[in-house]
Amino acid sequence: MNIGIFTDCYYPQINGVVTSVMTLREELIRRGHNVTIVTVQVPGYKKSSDGVIRIKAIPKFKLMDFRMALPLFYQDYQCIRDLQLDVIHTHTEFTIGLFGQFVASRLKIPMLHTYHTMYEDYTNYILRIKRGRGLVKRFMRHSSKRYVRRYDAVVVPSLKTEKALRSYGIKNSIHILPTGIDLAKFPSYEKVDPHLAALRQRLGLADSTKVVLSLGRVSEEKSVDVIIAQMEALSARTGDVRLLVVGDGPYMAPLQRLARDKGLERHVQFVGRVPWEEVPYYYSLADVFVSASKTETQGLTILEAMACQVPVVVYEDDNVADLIRDGVSGRLFKTSEELTKCLESVLLDPEYAESLAVRGRQVAASLSTEKFGEMAEKLYLGLLEKTIEIEGDTDSSAVFP
């Protein structure tokens, strides 16, 4: 098949959407398909790639992680038309997604959409004051319903997202397709590994220091402040412990102020953004990975940590319902007090922590990138067969009225 993937976010950007799209592309190519990415230019990034079409962006305009394309010129459509695409898969609700809808309509080919982001959880980016956010949330739900109604199918990464879309009144066919993980990219390193020893030294960590890891985009909705707020109580119960906040984002400065105000400089360390190839080392360095976010639709960093055989402590939500059984493949919490108790149970019992980590890696292994590509391929083929059947029926009715 010739497959077009339309997304506003793509490399060199790094986030969950980009990871999902790049993983999907790699697996589809491995299965013998031709895949073209249609995305927005990133200022300052000049490297060209085969199979990637970059459309000019509106200068200096960005909403969350999304850059907006300029009004789309006819030559962009001509370039894509010449690819003779069989199916279009959009991963954005903004300009490139609308362009994907236009192209699919003009070419009369099936189109499907992956709904990655629960926008009603991000109203703080649109309206800084709390008053009026309820109205914005209702607008987001209504807009999502209107946007997806033209698609032949909708893909979601978790049960949580499917439930939300159904609550919006969306009637489309919805398919749960979690992004797979390539275990080869997330090895588990032994604590005595020289690279880990060098990393501990670089970070100023003593051999006895227990490491709690938060890794990902540093934004308000990730609730890293909830983790920071528990570090004083946790250190009183577990001894020398440090929270490493790895990543960057718009909420870094408020979190740094919070740590200073609480006098937690010894227990909270802001590492910032790290090279992609260093990420598995940070996972392996950790004694426990923690996510307090209530807005995840899947939570790829959770799965990555599990792949690296690190015990995870995660906010209990539908997005991890099929991943984590509390006390078996990880720990789940609802309240701040439960978070501290879960972290304490892992940090003070190495054998228990190891059992969680081993089972967690087994769960991660069951969600392979191969399975991800296979399920996407089946979905595309199903849409194509449906289109062919419809076309066949139309032709028959014309000949035999």
**CATH class of the structural domain 183-366:** alpha beta
Structure tokens at 356: 């969680």
The CATH classification of domain 2-180+369-399, taken from the options 3.40.50.300, 3.40.50.2020, 3.40.630.30, 3.40.50.2000: 3.40.50.2000
305 vs 11, residue with greater confidence: 305
Q: Structure pTM?
A: 0.76
Give pLDDT, residue 88.
Answer: 98
pLDDT single digits (tens) 312-337:
999 998 878 878 999 999 999 999 99
How sure is the predictor about 374, in pLDDT bands with cuts at 50, 70 and 90?
very high
* Predicted pLDDT of residue 11: 85
Confidence at 144, pLDDT banded by 50, 70, 90: confident
Per-residue pLDDT, 395: 37
At 193-227, the pLDDT tens digits run 999 999 999 999 999 999 999 999 898 889 999 99
Residue pair 101/90 in contact (Cβ under 8 Å)? The answer is: yes
400: pLDDT confidence band, cut at 50, 70 and 90? very low
Please give the share of the chain, as a percent, with pLDDT higher than 70: 87
Q: How many C-beta atoms lie closer than 10 Å to residue 247's C-beta? A: 22
Q: Given this model, what pLDDT does residue 127 score?
A: 47
- Average of per-residue pLDDT across 228-250: 94
More confident residue, 163 or 109: 109
Q: Where are the domains of the chain?
A: 2-180+369-399, 183-366
Res 315: pLDDT: 95
What's residue 50's pLDDT? 83
Residue 267: which pLDDT band, with cuts at 50, 70 and 90? very high
pLDDT at residue 334, rounded to an integer:
95
Average pLDDT over residues 92-119: 90
Res 145: pLDDT: 83
In the predicted structure, residue 173 carries a pLDDT above the cut 60: yes
Mean pLDDT of 340-359: 97
State which of 33-47, 152-166, 229-243 shows the largest mean pLDDT.
229-243
